[in-house]
């Protein structure tokens, strides 16, 4: 069997699989780097699992600079790359602080260099593995790389993180605009991070929403805002997870408020069960 036939086979296999339980797939994205995606993704996972008793899988899909395990102070034996050499997700998953993590990998093998066939193999393995989770949170790389766009398009929700700084706002807008323009995808929710206060957050949201509405004729929802937190930086330095050790810090409370909305909200399930199928088909077309 040549590689194209094998790829076709994998595609058919994933298409046959059913996500029986409807997991909610949330990708965490941003235009600009360093705006707080990974810290948000990790703490959101912790809070969904521990405060709301959900079964959560966090996937580190930032394969250029994977650092979910760094924030969680884990030293994983394996990572997603091991799926390519025959390991199973069960062999690489790490259970920590009440939720499961699939660690990513960094270095020269960025996601871009991964052949579509290899991505398909990873997707095939994860289709079965992820189906029992209530939430699958996907931490992505900054920017509008094709693979990141595929993760976003396949997700039923994409949290776009920005700070109130104009470059971060412009890049968040550019990310949403280009994905809408090419693919008509609008399931974005904005998270305004590192704010001085609520007014600054609302001002940032209004500006972005107005620009988006002028272009798309639709509002983007605000998932919530998160204050700038010195405590977060202290927690990171002492290798602790802020939401675990400082449950009443404003950062933790802000992420809890965002998590509570997701728990309460019913998604349209049309697409949700099909996350991996969609991801597979988006990759195939590129
Ligand atoms: N609310 C906040 N208050 C203060 N500092 C923050 C806040 N959120 C994130 N940071 C800091 O910003 C830096 C970047 O955070 P993080 O790594 O989560 O961003 P990222 O968007 O995942 O970056 P990358 O694009 O490189 O993946 C970290 O030093 C983190 O401590
Ligand atoms: Mg990150």
User: What's this model's pTM, rounded to 2 decimal places?
Assistant: 0.91
Please tell me the distance from the alpha carbon of residue 88 to that of residue 90, in angstroms, as a whole number: 5
pLDDT tens digits, 122-136: 888 888 888 889 999
pLDDT of residue 234: 95
Give the tens place of pLDDT for each residue, 26-76.
Answer: 999 999 999 999 999 999 999 999 999 999 999 999 877 889 999 999 999
Question: To the nearest 10°, the Cα dihedral for 159, 138, 111, 82?
Answer: 170
Exposure b/e, 185-222, CB count within 10 A at least 16 = b: bebbbbbbbbbeeeebbeebbeebbebbeeebeeebeb
Q: What is the DSSP letter of 86?
A: T
Distance 63 CA to ligand 2 centre (A): 10
- Alpha carbons 163 and 145: distance in angstroms, whole number: 20
Residue 111 has pLDDT above 60, yes or no: no
Atom 15 in ligand 1: residue holding the nearest Cα: 36
Neighbours of 236 (CB within 10 A): 15
Output the ligand 1 site: residues, CB below 6 A.
30, 33-39, 62, 65, 142, 193-194, 226, 228-229, 232-233, 236, 251
pLDDT at residue 236 tops 50:
yes
Looking at residue 274, the DSSP 8-state letter turns out to be: T
Stretch (H or E) spanning 138: strand 135-139
Give all strands (DSSP E) within 140-220, no chain letters. Answer: 157-162, 188-195
Ligand nearest to the CA of 40: 1
Report the CATH number of the 3-285 domain. 3.40.50.300
Ligand nearest to the CA of 162: 1
Per-residue pLDDT at 269? 46
Arithmetic mean of pLDDT over the chain: 88
How far is the C-alpha of 125 from the C-alpha of 27, rounded, in Å? Answer: 19
The residue ranges of every structural domain in the chain are 3-285
Q: Which residue, by CA, sits nearest to atom 26 of ligand 1?
A: 34
Tens digits of residue pLDDT in 2-19: 767 777 777 777 776 665
Half-sphere exposure of 208 (CA within 13 A, CB side): 33
Q: Which of 43, 50, 40, 134 is nearest to 98 (CA)?
A: 50
* pLDDT interval class at 252 (50, 70, 90): very high
| Closest residue CA from atom 9 of ligand 1 | 36
62: alpha, beta or left, given left = phi > 0 and alpha = psi -120 to 50?
beta
The pLDDT of residue 285? 55
SS3 87: coil
The phi, psi pair for 138, rounded to 5°, reads: -120, 110
Q: Tens digits of per-residue pLDDT, 182-229?
A: 999 999 999 999 999 999 999 999 999 999 999 888 999 999 999 999
| Strand ranges across the sheet with 99-102 | 94-96, 99-102, 56-60, 135-139, 24-29, 157-162, 188-195, 221-227
The mean pLDDT value for 254-275 works out to 75
Q: Three-class SS of residue 36?
A: coil
Backbone angles phi, psi at 164, to 5 degrees: -70, -5
According to the model, what pLDDT value does residue 241 have?
97
């Amino acid at each position: 069997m040549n590689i194209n036939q094998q790829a076709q086979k994998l595609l058919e296999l994933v298409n046959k699989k059913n996500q029986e339980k409807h997991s909610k797939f949330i990708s965490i994205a941003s235009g600009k780097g360093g705006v707080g995606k990974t810290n948000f993704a990790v703490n959101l996972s912790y809070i969904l699992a521990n405060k709301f008793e959900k079964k959560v899988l966090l996937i580190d899909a930032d394969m250029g600079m994977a650092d979910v395990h760094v924030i969680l102070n884990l030293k994983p034996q394996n990572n997603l790359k091991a799926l390519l050499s025959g390991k199973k997700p069960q062999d690489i998953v790490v259970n920590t602080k009440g939720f499961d993590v699939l660690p990513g990998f960094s270095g020269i093998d960025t996601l871009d260099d991964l052949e579509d066939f290899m991505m398909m193999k990873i997707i095939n393995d994860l289709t079965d593995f992820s189906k029992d989770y209530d939430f699958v949170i996907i931490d992505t790389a900054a920017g509008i790389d094709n693979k990141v766009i595929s993760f976003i398009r396949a997700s039923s929700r994409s949290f776009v993180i920005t700070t109130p700084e104009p470059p971060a706002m412009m890049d968040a807008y550019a990310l949403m605009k280009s994905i809408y323009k090419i693919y008509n995808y609008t399931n974005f929710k904005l998270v305004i991070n590192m704010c001085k206060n609520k007014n600054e957050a609302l001002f940032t949201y209004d500006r972005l929403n107005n620009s988006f509405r002028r272009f798309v004729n639709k509002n983007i929802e605000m998932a919530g805002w998160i204050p700038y937190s010195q405590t977060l930086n202290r927690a990171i330095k002492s290798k602790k997870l802020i939401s675990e050790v400082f449950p009443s810090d404003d950062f933790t409370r802000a992420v809890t408020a965002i998590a509570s909305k997701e728990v309460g909200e019913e998604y349209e399930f049309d697409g949700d069960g099909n996350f991996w199928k969609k991801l597979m088909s988006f990759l195939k077309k590129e």
